[in-house]
Amino acid sequence: MKSWRRKLRRLSGRDLVIVAEAVMMLGIARAAVGVVPFRRLARFFGKQHAETGDELLPEDLRQVRRIGQLLRASAAAVPWECKCLTQSVAGRLMLVRRRIPSTLYFGVRTDEDGAFDAHAWLRCGSYIVTGGDGHESFTVLTHFADPP
């Protein structure tokens, strides 16, 4: 906990605002994922089977990278569990708020033991904002984005 406080003190005012927003969005996403049926929740993800392009303005890419870094760090520091789905939904909400296009992916695979495994990740341009570790080993079931 002390190390997290020390890191917070070193952040700029702009980054502190992003951290506060990330914590709030992670809480909202965690509650929604735990309570709202997926079918109803999916309405807020964007248009199903829509995808955003790989192009992103350089200033947007810088902002998206920073949001991703601070979102992942916040997810590791909050007292509740924030798995890939919670992080991806929170990130999508943060990017929608900024009118930065992104695509939310849902995929599945079987692990080494033959057990079913699911994963969610968020892509903005060619950058994977959340859920990037091993996402390429999952078969995409569906994805959501804002229509072009």
pLDDT in tens, 78-117: 999 999 999 999 999 999 999 999 999 999 999 888 899 9
124 touches 95 (CB < 8 A):
yes
Confidence grade of residue 2 (pLDDT, cut at 50, 70, 90): low
The number of distinct structural domains making up the chain is 1
Q: What are phi and psi of 52, to 5 degrees?
A: -90, 160
pLDDT in tens, 106-146: 999 998 888 999 999 999 999 999 998 889 999 999 999 98
Its pTM stands at 0.89
| DSSP string for 16-45 | HHHHHHHHHHHHHHHHHHHHS-HHHHGGGS
Structural domain including 97 reads 2-145
